[in-house]
């Protein structure tokens, strides 16, 4: 059993003044209740380095149920893979985890306590142990420090303080086994190397290149959290370069990866550099803006394909934007609240390009304006938008109300000239979305209706007049029915019961309308051979999927799950 090297907090340069009061309170409460409790992991490492921790994690020998009982309504047990407790104080959330037991004896526990996947990754780990067992379950020695904030002592079991001062990232145990158990650790290596300048053993970096495909078995929701840590830590651009170097970026943003040209700074590179600058200046950054920039090149390429197929420019952009969000969600989850903001950024930035004089003031007052404006500036830097447009929006924010009205009136003249009817042979310029274009010439992107070649429906019917009733027949139709009954024949001049023929026609029309509204193949379940459905995470080269028997299905219009090679980019 390992013994800890106890070091006073003063020698390590840790001051409780730099620690969240709520985190200190949780540790104090747990110790007062008779449990062991320590600040652990990255927060202790950052305090020793001298940087401000983003969050504070706590480790204890109390079970999740005991922690929840200690903090009552403020505590919530979450997770199935690793059961932990979130203790909330307003907007601050502290993560409290129970000491994990040694994972070597997996045959002696039940599957609901500990289980692993086909590739060796831990799917469930809820076997609790002592602090000596917990320390060997951690990923790197730099993250294996326990800080007792009550007694102000650091417990170092693995020589982590020396490795932090030497800026070395040393894996606890065999790197291959540690990365296999939790492939997300490969992303953490990249993050620590880019943000903190830590060096990993060459053998471990070589294994990351070869085993990057294990990330395809990690849930998209968990990868979303890791992406935020990768790109919002102040070293987003360096992190991006390392992800590309070791071939991991393609498992996070595969559609973007296919569009990247080495040596050319496009939207992703510009956005990451902009994010780093804002973090250094202490300005806020939002995930939606980063995702909007990351996915823009695939959106643009997909919109061009739709327009080449005959879609109007406005519908092509709309379909491409929605499809990009859906397809990216297979790899890194895009929460609904985040997807709405991304769509707002894209759509509002198109309005900025269009400069409709009636929408200028409304756009300036929109809460998404600043993000859309920054997105417009990035597109200007990569020469996708005229520089005069971005300069106009920069100036209109700086002038007073009278001069702003003059600028709006002046741009209104230009706007009227640009609102000429769109010619059928006009090439899209990617500088605007024409929201006024008639869509009667293209029916390939409506949802709900008959098949259109994209798996979508046909053009919806015009809206009924408000307050009116749907007509069930016409004067000509009623007269024809009466003549048919008097003649003893059907409506086409043939013999038969007119009432029966008419009712049968009504039933057929009703079924046809219902089928039209519901789309092709309505009422059928997606069969295994249905080409309109594909696996959200299909098998890799080993024939293994991440979801096992319960495969997720994604209805697609055109795109597929990309099959990426395992060779590094450079």
Rounded to whole angstroms, how far apart are CA atoms 333 and 395? 37
Concerning whether 451 is annotated as a catalytic residue, the answer is no
CB 364 within 8 A of CB 396: yes
Active-site option among 46, 57, 61, 156: 57
Strands 92-98 and 57-60, by their bridges, are: parallel
Concerning whether 340 is annotated as a catalytic residue, the answer is no
CB 172 within 8 A of CB 138: yes
Concerning whether 163 is annotated as a catalytic residue, the answer is no
Give the 3-state DSSP-derived string for 363-419, with helices as H, strands as E and coil as C: HHHCCCHHHHHHHHHHHHHCCCCCHHHHHHHHHHCCCCHHHHHHHHHHHHHHHHHHC
CA proximity to 509, closest of 472, 480, 483: 472
Q: For helices 184-195 and 220-231, give the axis angle rounded to 10 degrees.
A: 10
With a CB cutoff of 8 Å and minimum separation 6, the contacts of 145 are 40, 41, 44, 45, 48, 154, 155, 156, 160, 161
Active-site option among 139, 163, 302, 452: 139
CA proximity to 307, closest of 161, 134, 444: 444
**213 class by beta-carbon count within 10 Å (0-12 exposed, 13-18 middle, 19+ buried):** buried
Chain Cα centroid distance, residue 150 = 39
Active-site option among 18, 55, 148, 405: 55
CA proximity to 270, closest of 248, 290, 242, 246: 290
CB 445 within 8 A of CB 323: no
Rounded alpha-carbon distances, angstroms, from residue 142 to 138, 174, 478, 488, 535: 10, 16, 86, 94, 39
Return the active site residues: 55, 57, 139
């Amino acid at each position: 059993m390992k013994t800890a090297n106890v070091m006073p907090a003063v020698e390590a340069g840790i001051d409780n003044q730099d620690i969240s009061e709520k985190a200190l309170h949780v540790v104090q409460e747990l110790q007062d209740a008779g449990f062991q409790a320590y600040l652990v992991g990255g927060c202790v490492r950052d305090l020793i380095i001298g940087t401000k921790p983003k969050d504070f994690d706590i480790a204890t020998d109390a079970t999740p149920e005991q922690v929840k009982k200690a903090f009552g309504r403020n505590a919530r047990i979450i997770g199935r893979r690793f059961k932990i407790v979130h203790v909330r104080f307003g907007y601050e959330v502290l993560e409290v985890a129970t000491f994990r037991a040694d994972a070597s004896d997996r045959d002696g526990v039940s599957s609901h306590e500990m289980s692993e996947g086909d590739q060796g990754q831990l799917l469930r780990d809820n076997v609790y142990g002592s602090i000596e067992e917990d320390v060997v379950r951690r990923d790197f020695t730099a993250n294996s420090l326990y800080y007792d904030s009550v007694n102000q002592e650091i417990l170092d079991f693995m020589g982590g303080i020396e490795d932090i001062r030497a800026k070395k990232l040393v894996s606890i145990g065999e790197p291959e086994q540690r990365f296999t158990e939790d492939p997300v650790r490969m992303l953490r290596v990249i993050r620590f190397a880019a943000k903190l300048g830590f060096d990993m053993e060459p053998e471990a970096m070589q294994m990351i290149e070869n085993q990057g495909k294990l990330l395809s078995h990690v849930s998209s929701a968990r990868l979303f959290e890791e992406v935020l840590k990768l790109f919002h830590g102040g070293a987003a651009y360096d992190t991006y370069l390392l992800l590309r170097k070791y071939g991991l970026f393609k498992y996070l943003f595969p559609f973007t990866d296919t569009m990247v040209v080495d040596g050319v700074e496009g939207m992703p590179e510009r956005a990451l550099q902009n994010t780093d600058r804002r973090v250094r200046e202490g300005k806020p950054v939002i995930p939606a803006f980063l995702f909007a920039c990351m996915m823009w090149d695939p959106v643009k390429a997909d919109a061009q394909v739709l327009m080449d197929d005959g879609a109007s420019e406005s519908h092509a952009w709309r379909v491409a934007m929605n499809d990009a969000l859906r397809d990216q969600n297979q790899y890194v989850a895009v929460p609904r609240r985040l997807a709405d903001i991304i769509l707002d950024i894209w759509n509002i930035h198109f309005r900025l390009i269009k400069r409709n004089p009636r929408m200028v003031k409304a756009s300036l007052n929109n809460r998404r304006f600043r993000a859309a404006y920054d997105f417009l500036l990035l597109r200007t830097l990569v020469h996708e938008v005229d520089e005069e447009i971005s300069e106009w929006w920069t100036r209109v924010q700086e002038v007073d109300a009278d001069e702003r009205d003059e600028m709006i009136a002046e741009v209104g003249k230009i706007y009227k000239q640009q609102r000429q009817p769109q010619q059928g042979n006009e090439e899209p310029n990617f500088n605007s979305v024409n929201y006024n274009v008639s869509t009667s010439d293209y029916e390939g992107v409506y949802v709900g209706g008959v098949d259109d070649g994209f798996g979508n429906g046909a053009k919806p019917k015009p809206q009924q007049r408000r307050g009116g009733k749907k007509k069930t027949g016409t004067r000509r139709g009623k007269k024809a029915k009466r003549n048919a009954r008097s003649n003893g024949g059907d409506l086409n001049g043939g013999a038969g019961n007119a009432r029966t023929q008419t009712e049968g026609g009504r039933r057929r029309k009703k079924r046809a309308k219902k089928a039209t509204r519901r789309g092709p193949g309505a009422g059928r379940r997606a069969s295994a051979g249905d080409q309109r459905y594909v696996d959200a995470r299909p098998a890799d080269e080993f024939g293994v999927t991440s979801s096992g028997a319960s495969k997720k299905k994604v209805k697609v219009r055109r795109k597929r799950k990309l099959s990426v090679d395992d060779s590094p980019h450079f």
